[in-house]
Every structure is written in structure tokens, then in C-alpha cells.
């Protein structure tokens, strides 16, 4: 979009390269610190990082950012694996976009969930950020493969569809989650939904145009050329060459040869 291009030309130098990778590393670091603490201390540390707009208004502004670093799993193995996946996704997105656009994508998510938390008290689920990054990667690289359990190769698009299906199932089971889920994926919807809709509409128009062309096209038994002398057509005798006389009538190469003789 022209607006984004203009914005990037003016502010692109302020973008943080590898921001997705940085988030993944910080999340792993937070998990390591929490595992080194007692259960009570870890809960208090997590509470200090979480998004709480009342406390933000009291001056604890770091919460606007640090809630993204709260780990989703207490397993160090899964955390390391998730960090590696985040690094892979981050490199892919910056190759498809630019660091500035990746930064803007993440910033859009943070603004959306912060507004949702402030206005409606919706939880700022960092899972939705990682999911929206994964969906963006799957949109750019649908046929990339990942080894599930290091054994089974599965294309990214199928994993993205499974993740979307599980999220949709959660919404069906708890309809109250619909708006928070939409808010948590607003960055993806803004970035990709218009293009996806445009592609589908274009594909539908092409299919309709092709169908109408085939319906209106000549049938297999319809001829285009017919000799005015012998009445032969290009359907019956494809080897013949047809020419138009001064009178406007067509004549085949055989009859033209006989007339010349």
C-alpha cells in the first residue's frame, strides 16, 4: 500500500531487525529465570510482566511490552523448540516483507490487544501474537515443510489450518471469546484479508469468464470455411487451404487449381 510505503520511507530506519527473534529469545530467557525461582516467586515475577492497565496508569509502563515475553509453556525443551521456530518465522517474514513491516505488524497487534484490555478488560494473550505471526508465514510460504516430532514432514499451510480450526472450535465452545480472538488477530486480518478476498473474487471472475467463453464458443461440428464451388469445409478436409475471391466467395485450393488449369 502507498501509505505503508510512505511510512517506511520516513521511519524505516527506526525498525528493529530480527524483532521476532528477539521476542523468542526474551521469552526463553524469562522461562529460564522462572524455572530458577520458587513457585511463589515465579508467579510474582509473571504478574510483574503481565499487562494490567490500572498499573500501567500508575507508571508501570513496561507492562505494555513485557507481557509478550511471558512463556506459554513450562517445558524448557518446548521453549527451545518454540524459539527456534520463532527465529525461522522471523527470518522468513523479513525476507517476504521488510524489518519495518514486520515491526509494524507486531506493533499493530500490541496496540489492538492493549486497547482491548483497556476498554473491555480482554486478556492480552501472547499466544495470539505467535499465532498471527505463524499465519502470516503460512500465507507467504504455504508449501514450506516442518518436521513434526522431527519425523513427519507437514506443510505449513496444513498446520496453520489446524491451528485456525482449534481456535475456531474454542470460540464455538465459548462464544464470549469471539471478539478477543478477532482483536488478537486484527493485525493478520488487516494485512492479509483484503488481498485474500481480492484473489478469490478475481479467481471467481476468471472461472466465470472461461465458462461463458466455452458456452459461447463454436461447437466441434461447426465450420468456419466452405468452398463456394465444391462445398467442402475445413472440418471435412483440414488439408485444404481456403482463399476469398473478389466476389467475396471462398474457394478451396483444389478448386482454385482446377480453375487455374
Distances (CA, A) of 189 to 16, 88, 135: 23, 22, 10
Report pLDDT for 221: 55
200 within domain boundaries? no
Q: Which domain holds residue 151?
A: 14-192
**Cα angle for residues 70, 100, 155 (degrees, 5° grid):** 65
Q: How many CB atoms lie within 10 A of CB 39?
A: 8
Reply yes or no on whether the pLDDT at 106 is more than 60. yes
**Domain contains 37:** yes
Question: Does 192 have pLDDT greater than 70?
Answer: yes
pLDDT of residue 109: 93
1: confidence class by pLDDT, cuts 50, 70, 90:
low
Number of domains observed in the structure of the chain: 2
The pLDDT value given to residue 141 = 93
Q: Is 204 among the domain residues?
A: no
**Distance separating alpha carbons of residues 169 and 166, to the nearest angstrom:** 5
Is residue 215 predicted with pLDDT exceeding 90? no
- 179 and 98 together in one domain: yes
- Can you give the pLDDT at residue 222? 66
Task: State the average pLDDT over residues 216-223.
Answer: 57
Instruction: Mark whether 186 and 244 lie in a shared domain.
Output: no
In a domain, 213, yes or no: no
Q: Are residues 98 and 178 in the same domain?
A: yes
Amino acid at each position: 500500500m502507498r501509505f505503508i510505503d510512505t511510512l517506511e520511507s520516513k521511519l524505516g530506519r527506526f525498525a528493529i531487525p530480527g524483532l521476532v527473534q528477539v521476542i523468542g529469545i526474551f521469552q526463553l530467557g524469562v522461562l529460564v529465570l522462572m524455572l530458577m525461582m520458587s513457585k511463589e516467586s515465579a508467579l510474582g515475577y509473571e504478574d510483574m510482566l503481565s499487562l494490567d492497565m490500572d498499573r500501567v496508569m500508575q507508571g508501570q509502563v513496561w507492562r505494555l511490552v513485557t507481557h509478550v515475553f511471558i512463556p506459554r509453556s513450562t517445558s524448557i525443551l518446548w521453549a527451545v523448540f518454540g524459539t527456534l521456530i520463532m527465529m525461522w518465522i522471523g527470518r522468513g517474514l523479513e525476507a517476504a516483507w521488510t524489518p519495518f513491516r514486520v515491526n509494524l505488524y507486531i506493533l499493530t497487534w500490541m496496540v489492538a490487544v492493549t486497547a482491548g484490555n483497556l476498554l473491555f478488560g480482554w486478556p492480552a494473550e501472547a499466544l495470539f501474537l505467535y499465532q498471527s505471526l505463524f499465519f502470516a508465514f503460512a500465507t507467504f510460504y504455504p508449501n514450506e515443510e516442518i518436521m513434526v516430532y522431527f519425523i513427519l514432514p507437514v506443510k505449513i499451510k496444513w498446520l496453520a489450518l489446524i491451528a485456525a480450526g482449534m481456535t475456531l472450535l474454542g470460540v464455538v465452545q465459548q462464544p464470549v471469546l469471539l471478539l478477543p480472538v478477532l482483536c488478537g488477530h486484527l493485525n493478520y486480518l488487516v494485512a492479509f484479508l483484503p488481498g485474500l478476498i481480492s484473489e478469490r473474487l478475481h479467481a471467481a471472475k476468471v472461472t466465470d469468464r472461461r465458462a461463458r467463453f466455452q458456452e459461447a464458443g463454436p461447437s466441434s461440428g461447426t465450420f468456419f470455411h466452405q468452398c463456394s464451388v465444391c462445398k467442402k469445409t475445413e472440418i471435412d478436409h483440414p488439408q485444404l487451404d481456403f482463399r476469398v475471391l473478389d466476389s467475396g466467395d471462398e474457394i478451396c485450393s483444389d478448386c482454385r487449381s482446377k480453375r487455374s488449369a
